Amino acid sequence: AQSVTQLDSQVPVFEEAPVELRCNYSSSVSVYLFWYVQYPNQGLQLLLKYLSGSTLVKGINGFEAEFNKSQTSFHLRKPSVHISDTAEYFCAVSNNNDMRFGAGTRLTVKP
Protein backbone atom coordinates (compact mmCIF):
# COMPACT_ATOMS: atom_id res chain seq x y z
CA ALA A 1 0.00 0.00 0.00
CA GLN A 2 1.04 3.58 -0.52
CA SER A 3 2.36 5.80 2.28
CA VAL A 4 3.01 9.47 2.95
CA THR A 5 5.72 11.27 4.89
CA GLN A 6 5.35 14.88 5.88
CA LEU A 7 8.85 15.97 6.68
CA ASP A 8 8.04 18.75 9.14
CA SER A 9 5.64 18.40 12.05
CA GLN A 10 5.66 22.13 12.75
CA VAL A 11 6.49 25.13 10.58
CA PRO A 12 6.52 28.61 12.17
CA VAL A 13 6.73 31.58 9.79
CA PHE A 14 6.14 35.30 9.91
CA GLU A 15 3.24 36.93 8.16
CA GLU A 16 3.89 37.75 4.47
CA ALA A 17 6.83 35.33 4.29
CA PRO A 18 6.84 32.45 1.79
CA VAL A 19 6.27 28.92 3.03
CA GLU A 20 6.82 25.39 1.76
CA LEU A 21 5.31 22.32 3.43
CA ARG A 22 7.05 19.16 2.32
CA CYS A 23 5.42 15.86 1.39
CA ASN A 24 6.96 12.68 0.04
CA TYR A 25 5.07 9.58 -0.91
CA SER A 26 5.79 5.94 -1.62
CA SER A 27 3.79 3.79 -4.00
CA SER A 28 4.37 1.03 -6.53
CA VAL A 29 1.44 2.19 -8.68
CA SER A 30 0.15 5.48 -10.02
CA VAL A 31 -1.59 7.54 -7.39
CA TYR A 32 -3.57 10.70 -6.92
CA LEU A 33 -2.23 13.33 -4.51
CA PHE A 34 -4.08 15.73 -2.24
CA TRP A 35 -3.52 18.47 0.29
CA TYR A 36 -6.17 19.08 2.93
CA VAL A 37 -6.29 21.89 5.51
CA GLN A 38 -7.80 21.63 8.97
CA TYR A 39 -8.57 24.87 10.79
CA PRO A 40 -8.97 24.70 14.59
CA ASN A 41 -12.06 22.75 15.65
CA GLN A 42 -13.09 22.05 12.07
CA GLY A 43 -13.06 19.16 9.62
CA LEU A 44 -10.68 18.70 6.70
CA GLN A 45 -11.14 20.95 3.70
CA LEU A 46 -9.72 20.09 0.28
CA LEU A 47 -6.99 22.56 -0.65
CA LEU A 48 -5.89 21.09 -3.97
CA LYS A 49 -5.39 17.82 -5.79
CA TYR A 50 -3.27 16.29 -8.51
CA LEU A 51 -5.00 13.71 -10.68
CA SER A 52 -3.15 14.05 -14.01
CA GLY A 53 -1.91 16.64 -16.48
CA SER A 54 0.09 19.70 -15.46
CA THR A 55 2.39 18.98 -12.55
CA LEU A 56 1.79 22.43 -11.05
CA VAL A 57 -1.55 22.50 -9.31
CA LYS A 58 -3.22 25.63 -7.99
CA GLY A 59 -5.63 25.47 -5.08
CA ILE A 60 -7.69 27.71 -2.89
CA ASN A 61 -6.37 30.58 -0.76
CA GLY A 62 -3.31 31.14 -2.99
CA PHE A 63 -1.71 27.76 -2.36
CA GLU A 64 -0.07 25.66 -5.06
CA ALA A 65 1.75 22.34 -5.19
CA GLU A 66 4.08 20.67 -7.63
CA PHE A 67 4.03 16.97 -8.39
CA ASN A 68 7.53 15.60 -8.93
CA LYS A 69 7.37 11.97 -10.00
CA SER A 70 11.14 11.37 -10.00
CA GLN A 71 11.45 12.63 -6.43
CA THR A 72 8.06 11.23 -5.36
CA SER A 73 7.21 14.57 -3.83
CA PHE A 74 4.19 16.87 -3.71
CA HIS A 75 5.31 19.97 -1.80
CA LEU A 76 2.82 22.72 -0.94
CA ARG A 77 3.82 26.36 -1.36
CA LYS A 78 2.46 29.84 -0.81
CA PRO A 79 4.44 32.98 -1.69
CA SER A 80 3.04 35.14 1.10
CA VAL A 81 1.18 33.75 4.12
CA HIS A 82 -1.47 35.40 6.26
CA ILE A 83 -2.34 34.96 9.92
CA SER A 84 -5.49 33.18 8.76
CA ASP A 85 -3.38 30.41 7.17
CA THR A 86 -2.55 29.11 10.64
CA ALA A 87 -3.85 25.53 10.55
CA GLU A 88 -2.86 21.88 10.23
CA TYR A 89 -2.09 20.68 6.72
CA PHE A 90 -2.35 17.06 5.62
CA CYS A 91 -0.87 15.49 2.53
CA ALA A 92 -2.67 12.39 1.24
CA VAL A 93 -2.12 9.81 -1.47
CA SER A 94 -4.85 7.69 -2.98
CA ASN A 95 -5.13 4.72 -5.29
CA ASN A 96 -8.50 3.17 -6.10
CA ASN A 97 -10.13 4.92 -3.16
CA ASP A 98 -7.51 3.70 -0.68
CA MET A 99 -6.42 7.06 0.78
CA ARG A 100 -3.47 7.33 3.17
CA PHE A 101 -2.65 10.46 5.11
CA GLY A 102 0.55 11.94 6.41
CA ALA A 103 0.88 12.83 10.08
CA GLY A 104 0.23 16.50 9.37
CA THR A 105 2.21 19.75 9.48
CA ARG A 106 1.13 22.49 11.83
CA LEU A 107 1.67 25.86 10.17
CA THR A 108 1.79 28.79 12.58
CA VAL A 109 1.89 32.26 11.09
CA LYS A 110 3.22 34.93 13.44
CA PRO A 111 2.53 38.67 13.16
Nearer to another protein, 12 or 79 (CB): 12
Shortest distance (Å) from residue 10 CB to another protein: 11
How far apart (Å, rounded) are the C-alpha atoms in residues 77 and 56? Answer: 11
Shortest distance (Å) from residue 77 CB to another protein: 21
Shortest distance (Å) from residue 84 CB to another protein: 19
Region of 19-27, 40-48, 67-75, 78-86 interacting with another protein (CB under 8 A): 40-48
Phi-psi region of 76 (alpha: psi -120 to 50; beta: other; left: phi over 0): beta
If binding is defined by CB under 8 A, does position 67 make contact with another protein?
A: no
Distance of CA 55 to the CA centre of its chain: 14
Nearer to another protein, 30 or 70 (CB): 30
Q: Where are the beta strands (DSSP E) in the chain?
A: 3-6, 10-14, 19-21, 23-26, 32-38, 44-50, 56-58, 64-68, 73-78, 87-95, 98-101, 105-110
Residues within the interface to another protein (CB under 8 A):
4, 9, 32, 34, 36, 42-46, 49, 51, 90, 94-97, 99, 101-104
